[in-house]
Amino acid sequence: MLYKKPQIQFYPYIVQRDDYKCVRCLGCVEQCSYDSTFYDEELDAIWNKHEACVGCKRCEAYCPTDAIKIVPNPSRPYEHSSWKWELVMDTYLQANTGGIIITGIGNDKPHRIYFDHLLIDACQVTNPSIDPLREPMELRTFLGRKGQKIVIEETEKGNISLKTKLAPQLQLETPIMFSAMSYGSINLNFQESMARAALQLGTYWNTGEGGLHKKLYPYAGCGIVQVASGRFGVSRDYLKAAAAVEIKIGQGAKPGIGGHLPGEKVNAEIAETRMIPPGSDAISPAPHHDIYSIEDLKQLIYAIKETTRYEKPVIVKIAAVHNVAAIASGIARAGADIIVLDGFRGGTGATPKSVRDNVGIPVEVAIAVVDKRLREEGIRNEVSIVATGGIRNSADVIKSIALGADAVYIATAAMLAIGCTLCQTCNTGRCAWGITTNDPRLARRQNPEIASEQLYNLVKGWSHEIKDMLGAMGINSIESLKGNRLRLRTIGLSEKESDILGVLPAGI
């Protein structure tokens, strides 16, 4: 036995192979991007290095004879109520490496998910429900500043026209958009899939901070481009090409933490798109070094508006943190057209585990307090709210909107739609599902033709469900649900929590 640090043996997964069913096609060997499974020619056997398995289950999904199962290793450190095995394993890992534990995907801790404590109201006899299969149901919504009042003019011929000049709006056919994921953290195939799906769905996708690849310029009309602290890929053409520009101040999965794409992942194409030399580290600092106040933010917002001739809405994205309502109010006053609130369950390519699991607040609470504050200040119409970071299904969308959001962004759900198994190793850049990787051998695992179809199906499915739920509430347009908290009730929450959410408890 070769020397190994002892605790390495307590690996989390075991690759179980039914040797009789295994036909040695070697598909699993090729699919495993973590070198956990390999072929021994001499013995004509496939062997496993269990300790390298991350539990991505790619082999399991692709085995043509169903011969493999990835199972949790039963031999784990003993269960202890204050030392959960994950904590013990983390301690072993840090004792062996002395580093920060980096991980991917969102917070997996069992913090209260408020969405699951909100119930949707349904009509009975006081007002009738609507059957979305027979009655028209509107999911179209507009994001952007709405102005105080609208002046309508009647022409001589009796036609009616709008006199007020409206601020630029984003028109969404369904209140679901694809959230920011940068080229670099994900590959071009996945970005293209989102772009294609967004175009088909009549919604928007977001480039993230990685710039806009030249191949995706045809999809820029339904794209939102990001300006993050690293200013990667930002040029006049980039700003002008998109439907809207998003300034990223913070991100839910890692509030107050910048981004870092290691140099080895910066290939020629990523370098060109980000406008940096190939092989150089792409570091987005935690703060924007020209923004230390709301006034500074205002300058950037207006610089972007000037560049884009006031034709595009400017979005500001922040992580949901305490005091979020006051921050959002400042952002609205600084001239943002849309504010994105990213909750602490949002995903990411890589973040210190300690930050991911412990920093920030749930998006449900953030939406409720921001919406309430902006209404109280009389400026709710001046800015739209987009919720993201923990939107898991159509019910979460409906509940977000009833709490006060105008629309939502999804990202982890989109990744699940194309195969992600939440193995949380995005940070390694070895994603076996070809999602969070730019390895040419792995990135091809996402064929945009298939992936865009799956993304389209997911959003279409949710949209149907949203219509059903709206119908049950007797509402025929999504815009009528915005901030309509009377359609919600809380269950199992304290009075204080219900109060913060602005939702009455069930029974009232």
Partner 1 sequence: MKKVIIIEDFCIACYNCEVACVATHSRTQDPVKSYKRENLRGKTNTIVELKGPAAFSSMCRHCKHPWCLDACISGAIQRLDNGIVYLDEERCVGCWGCVIACPYGSAHPNIKHNDKEDTKHAFKCDLCVDRLEQGLKPACVEACPNKALVYDETMPEVLSK
Q: Residue numbers of the site for ligand SF4 (CB under 6 A)?
A: 15, 31-32, 34, 36-37, 53-59, 70, 104-105, 415, 420-426, 431-433, 435-436
Instruction: List the single partner that 70 binds among ligand SF4, partner 1, none, CB under 5 to 8 Å by kind.
Output: ligand SF4
228 burial level (CB within 10 Å; 0-12, 13-18, 19+): buried
Among 9, 16, 65, 94, binds partner 1 (CB under 8 A): 65
Instruction: List the single partner that 53 binds among partner 1, ligand SF4, none, CB under 5 to 8 Å by kind.
Output: ligand SF4
Q: How far apart are CA 451 and CA 196, in angstroms?
A: 9
Structure tokens at 180: 């920011």
Closest approach of Cβ 411 to ligand SF4, in Å? 10
Instruction: List the single partner that 57 binds among ligand SF4, partner 1, none, CB under 5 to 8 Å by kind.
Output: ligand SF4
Closest approach of Cβ 445 to partner 1, in Å? 5
By C-beta, is 15 or 227 nearer to partner 1?
A: 15
User: Which residue in 289, 364, 291, 298 sits closest to 331, CA to CA?
Assistant: 298
Among 5, 8, 16, 64, binds partner 1 (CB under 8 A): 64
Instruction: List the single partner that 432 binds among ligand SF4, partner 1, none, CB under 5 to 8 Å by kind.
Output: ligand SF4
By C-beta, is 440 or 507 nearer to ligand SF4?
A: 440
* Phi/psi of residue 9, nearest 5 degrees: -65, -20
Q: Applying CB under 8 A, does 38 fall inside the site for partner 1? A: no
196 beta partners: none
Closest approach of Cβ 207 to partner 1, in Å? 17
Q: How far apart are CA 371 and CA 251, in angstroms?
A: 19
Q: Applying CB under 8 A, does 279 fall inside the site for partner 1? A: no
Closest approach of Cβ 105 to partner 1, in Å? 22
Element (H, E) at 387: strand 384-388
* Phi/psi of residue 402, nearest 5 degrees: -65, -30
Instruction: List the single partner that 449 binds among ligand SF4, partner 1, none, CB under 5 to 8 Å by kind.
Output: partner 1
Instruction: List the single partner that 253 binds among ligand SF4, partner 1, none, CB under 5 to 8 Å by kind.
Output: none
Helix 363-376 × helix 324-333 angle, to 10°: 50
By C-beta, is 58 or 489 nearer to ligand SF4?
A: 58
Listed in sequence order, the residues at least 6 apart from 173 whose beta carbon sits closer than 8 Å to its beta carbon are 139, 140, 201, 202, 203
By C-beta, is 23 or 167 nearer to partner 1?
A: 23
Instruction: List the single partner that 105 binds among partner 1, ligand SF4, none, CB under 5 to 8 Å by kind.
Output: ligand SF4
Contact range with partner 1 by CB under 8 A, out of 18-26, 286-294, 325-333, 361-369: 18-26
Q: Applying CB under 8 A, does 98 fall inside the site for partner 1? A: no
Structure tokens at 70: 């990835």
Q: Applying CB under 8 A, does 42 fall inside the site for partner 1? A: no
Instruction: List the single partner that 37 binds among partner 1, ligand SF4, none, CB under 5 to 8 Å by kind.
Output: ligand SF4
Q: Applying CB under 8 A, does 60 fall inside the site for partner 1? A: no
DSSP 81-120: SSS-HHHHHHHHHHHHH-SPPEE-SS--S----GGGGEEE
Q: Name which of residues 139 to 198 contact partner 1 (CB under 8 A).
A: 192
Distances (CA, A) of 106 to 151, 342, 367, 430: 45, 12, 19, 18
Question: Checking phi first, is residue 187 left (phi over 0); if not, alpha (psi -120 to 50) or beta?
Answer: beta
Instruction: List the single partner that 472 binds among ligand SF4, partner 1, none, CB under 5 to 8 Å by kind.
Output: none
Q: What is the dihedral of CA 445, 446, 450, 454, to 10 degrees?
A: 120
Closest approach of Cβ 391 to ligand SF4, in Å? 17
User: Which residue in 126, 145, 135, 203 sits closest to 172, CA to CA?
Assistant: 203
Instruction: List the single partner that 433 binds among ligand SF4, partner 1, none, CB under 5 to 8 Å by kind.
Output: ligand SF4
Closest approach of Cβ 360 to ligand SF4, in Å? 19
Q: How far apart are CA 379 and CA 375, in angstroms?
A: 6
Structure tokens at 318: 């922040």
Closest approach of Cβ 440 to partner 1, in Å? 4
DSSP 254-318: STT--EEE-GGG--HHHHHHHTS-TT--EEE-SS-TT-SSHHHHHHHHHHHHHHTTT-S-EEEEE
**Residue labelled with tokens 């709008």:** 162
Q: Applying CB under 8 A, does 30 fall inside the site for partner 1? A: yes
Element (H, E) at 185: none
The site for partner 1 (CB under 8 A) is made up of 20-21, 23-27, 30-31, 62, 64-65, 192, 215, 434, 439-441, 444-445, 447-450
